[in-house]
Every structure is written in structure tokens, then in C-alpha cells.
Chains A and B, each alone.
Chain A
């Protein structure tokens, strides 16, 4: 087991280097650089000398391989550099205050999705073609096709503008600091309701569909038949024998949805003005803030890689067939 984990970790190393390479290349191969914005400054405050100084300070005047080498040398010391934007703060600090927000939101969403999707999937599989199954199928198809940013806008239109029940955006009321402690918590929660419902709606479609499919396959297996033949009650057959095995592919899907967990839903964060990773990414993209964009890409991709690794290893623990299959595990 330990050997398997170690081998997976070693295999991840070249991928890690690849991540830094892609993050760097994506940005530096595209035409235009941060000084381009300065050059279009309408008041002409940016003299050519100033721009030249800027380029020197940020290493932009050096050849690409030198830039990459300098960047990677700092990266291994976990120094992501400083933001190009006005505040000039360290990138790691900027990301550090955003990541918890995104993680908190996504964890809550993921838990709600799983709590709802598993029973929905199981019920519609065990009652295939029933009214419940048909209704959820329609819901799933609409859920797949609904753009999340549109749904967000409709929710705001209905619950914030028309009914005035929930706040339009942000995480706190402007006067939140004067509220009592209880009122602050209530205020925070009410800001979370809309973004979380939007993401849950979209995620629910995918997961419940998966759960249904996987359950449908499992109930046809021989061991489910033999569990029935033993005279076990339907509840035990489905809830214990079948469900356990049906959950396995869902674990894989969970692993695949991890990039979204760390990266955050970019547009949702943008719409609801939630200060998370997604919003930071959009802002830095608009400002052409190299160090922040690269830092974001590297951190999110690395966390995803590690999370996938953890999921694979966990999978190996749950299902011994994978561990001994060696090559099959790597695909």
C-alpha cells in the first residue's frame, strides 16, 4: 500500500513541473504584457522611461528562459512574487485570504449536493420509470442545460429584487460591524443562500444522474440477486449491499470535480461579489497581473493534482483489485 502511494507520488513529480511550465507558457507566449495597459493610460502619465523601468523591475526585458528560471527559483522557496497591481502585495497573501472563502463555500455545496443526490439517485433507480424517476429526469436535463450565471440572475431577480428576501451580493451587510453577534451570523448566512443554491442546482443534476446509473448497473449484479435469495429485506439489499458498490464510481466523479472545488465557480463568485479564488482570477485577468495569474494556476493545479492523488489512493484502499492490478490503476 505504502509502495503504491509512493510510486503515485513519484509519478506526480513530472506533472508538477509540467504545471509550472504550462502556467508560465500560457501567459508569456500570448502577445501583450502588463505595460500595455499603462501605455494606453489616457492622461499620459506613463513616460517611456517609466515603462522601461517597470519592465526591468519585473524582469520582462529578459529572455523567456531566464524569466522562467528566476520565477521557478523563487517558486521552490514558495515565493510567488508580488502582485503587479497598485497594492503590490505578495501573491501568496492575496491567494491566502481568498482560498478559505472558496473552500468553505464549495465544501458546503458539495455536502448538500451529496446529501440530496445519493437518495435521489437511489430512489429513481430502484423505481425506474416511476413518476418520481420521470420528474427527476426532467429536472436533471434542465439542470444540465441551465447556465449557472443565468440561474443566479433569475434568483436575484426573484428573491432579491421582487421579493426583497435576500441580499443581492457580497458576503456581509455594509453595516455588519454594528450588528449584534447573532445578527452578524444571520446576515452572513443569508448572503450564502443564493450562491449556494445556484451551485447546488447545477451539481445536483450531474451527481443524481450518476448515482442512478451506477445503482441501475449494480442491482442487476449476481450478488444483489443472491442477497435477495438469502431472504434479506429489500431495505438491507439496497441500502447495504447495492449502495456500497454503487457509490464506487461516484467517488471517481467526486475526484474529477475537485478542480472546481479549489478553483471556485468563477462566474458565480463574480456575480455575487464573493471574494474567492474565482473572483481573484477574473480581476487579475482583467489587470494582466502576471504573478497573480501564474500563482493562481500553479496553486489550483497543484492542489487538484494532490487531491486526485489522494482520491486514487483512497480508491485503492476501498477496492483492493485496483492496487494489485498495478498497470490498470495507472490506465
Chain B
């Protein structure tokens, strides 16, 4: 652990990434305290005002303060990121460890299912499902999670295939430990390192998806602010209100960038050899 901490601290970019991620979490949690205005209160006298001292990021077409809306939007983005990645990881661990440990027909079936899900472009699947559901933050979390478990499954299975032949696993099997116990107590903890990295790198991918869906109007619905739906207001008023287009995107960029730096930092500090295994995964998840 100390070795990990020292290796991580030496990576300046990763430390900056971690600091920014922490700051973003703080912004999301403290949104009611930090936001200078009520994010949902319209003001007809201040429609589409350019950035000024009172409204640093300007106001939108209903006269609402954009900075406050962005601060509240952080809540949606981070919550969707955490929860949907949690869902995807839980499914991935369950299926991946089953496939890797049992092998045979079960393994073949699960891996064909993974192949099957991977031939669908993810955004198409999301659109198809969302078209029929009532858009809310819970639906978004669920559908992003349910369409993102395939890479984790592959990753966990690969770890299990390598680990289950190792001595400590064979020994615990030989003294009669149950299959569940072997998996849960002995193999899984040793397989968690790449999963942790995959989770950290999965969160920004989920945030990008969420903001894209919000942008199309299929995400969290107005009046609640998300970075994506502010950007889509920006598109409607692109010829007069540049601030609606510039600032929310900047926040998405900073968030995704810091998570990526953090994730890569954790990966390199844990084990440089993970580079390849998880590096592939990132490209896939886009």
C-alpha cells in the first residue's frame, strides 16, 4: 500500500487529477451552499444576459444563472457516473467470475452473450431503450449501466482464468472450501486491481454518455440542470449566447480529463503491466 502511495504521488498529473475529482465531488455535495443563485428561478428581466460580475457565466433564456445551474449539474453528472459504473461493474463481476471459474458451456454461453452485446453500437441501444422509457435520472443510470458491463466481464474472466490455476486457489479447493468461498475470498480480491482501474476510467465514459443523452433531450428533464441540457440550450441560441455553449462543455472536459488522469495514475501505480489489459478497455468503452 505504501509502495502504491509513493508510486502514485510521484505521478504529478495523477495527483492533479485526483485533486480536481475531489473538488468536483465537493462542488456536487455542497451545491446548495456554493451556488450563488437559485438554479431554477427564472427572471424575466435578465434573459440571456452576457457574463458579468453578478452572473459570471451569464444567464439562460429564462434568466436563470448559468453558474448555479452548472454547479447543480455536477450532481447529476457525478451521480450518474458513480451509479451506472457500479451497476455495470456488479454485473461484470458476477458474469465474469462465473464464466472464468466454471468454464465449459457456461463460459461459452456468457462470452457469446458478451460478443452479441458488443456488435450493437452502444448509443443506438441507449436510444432504442430510452425512446420507450420515461426519462429520469434513474432510467439513465440503469440503461448506461446495463449497456456497459461487457468489458468488465471480459476483464474479470481473464483474471479468473489466470488466477484459478494458482497454488493458493488449488490449496483452498483441496481442503474443501466451497466454490463460492474460493471465488469470493481468494480469487476475487486478487482480481480487483484491474477492475478498480476499469471503474475509474468507466466513470468519465458514463458522464460523456449522460451529457450526450441530455443534449439530445433524452436525459434528465428540465427544469433540472445538467451539463448536457445547458449545452443544448446553447445550441438553440448559438448566434447570440456563446456562454451557454462554452462553459458547460468546459466542465465536462475538465471532469473527464481528471478522471482519466486519475485512472491512468492508479493503473500505473498498481502495476505497470496492467497498461495493456485496461488500455484496450478504454478505447472499447468509447
- A interface list, Cβ under 8 A from B: 14-15, 18-19, 22-23, 26-27, 30-33, 141-142, 144-147, 149-151, 153-154, 156-157, 161, 168, 206, 210, 213, 253, 256, 259-260, 262-263, 266-267, 270-271, 278, 281-282, 284-286, 288, 293, 296-297, 300-302, 304-305, 308, 331
| B284 adjacent to A15 (CB under 8 Å) | no
Q: Does the CB pair A32–B133 fall under 8 Å? A: yes
Residues of A within 8 A of B286 (CB): 206
Partner of A288 from the list B131, B239, B242 (CB cut-off 8 Å) is B131
B272 at the interface (CB under 8 A from A): no
Q: How distant is the Cα of A300 from the Cα of B125 in the complex, in angstroms?
A: 11
B245 touches A22 (CB 8 A): no
- Decide: A142 near B252, CB < 8 A? Known: A149-B231, A293-B131: no
Determine the chain A residues whose CB is within 8 A of the CB of B134 once the complex forms.
32
Q: How far is the CB of B14 from chain A (nearest CB, A)?
A: 12
B251-286 near A? 1/0 per residue, CB < 8 Å: 011101100110000000000000100010011101
A-B pair number, CB within 8 angstroms: 145
CB distance from A102 to the nearest CB of B (A): 11
User: Contact between A260 and B218 (Cβ–Cβ < 8 Å)?
Assistant: no
Residues of chain A within 8 A of B125, CB atoms compared:
26, 297
Q: Indicate which residue in A18, A26, A154, A308 contacts B129 across the interface (CB closer than 8 Å).
A: A26
- Chain A contacts for B234, CB-based, 8 A: 153
Bound complex: CA A318 to CA B261 (Å): 35
Given contacts A150-B253, A153-B238, contact A297 B284 (CB under 8 A): no
Q: How far is the CA of A168 from the CA of B234 in the complex (A)?
A: 14
Given A27-B132, A153-B235, A210-B283, check contact A147 B120 (CB 8 Å): no
Q: Report the separation of the CA atoms of residues A45 and B42 in the bound assembly, to the nearest whole angstrom.
A: 35
Spell out B's residues near A (CB within 8 Å): 111-113, 115-121, 123-125, 127-134, 204, 208, 211-212, 215-216, 218, 231, 234-235, 238-239, 242, 245-246, 248-249, 252-254, 256-257, 260-261, 275, 279, 282-284, 286
* A151, A154, A253, A288 interface centre (most CB from chain B within 10 Å): A154
Residues of A within 8 A of B254 (CB): 145
A151 to B121, CA, bound (A): 21
Please give, as numbers and ranges, the residues of chain A lying within 8 Å of B211 by CB-CB distance: 147
- CB-CB under 8 A from B124, the residues of chain A are 263, 266, 281, 296-297, 300
**Do the beta carbons of B127 and A266 come within 8 Å of each other?**
yes
Whether A304 contacts B119 by the Cβ 8 Å rule is yes
Inter-chain contacts of B283 with A (CB < 8 A): 206, 210, 253, 256
Q: Would you call A141 and B116 a contact (CB within 8 A)?
A: no
CB distance from A246 to the nearest CB of B (A): 14
Indicate if the CB atoms of B120 and A30 lie closer than 8 Å.
Answer: no
Using Cβ atoms and an 8 Å threshold, which residues of chain B touch A154?
Answer: 245-246, 249
Q: Which of B131, B218, B282 has the most CB of A within 10 A?
A: B131
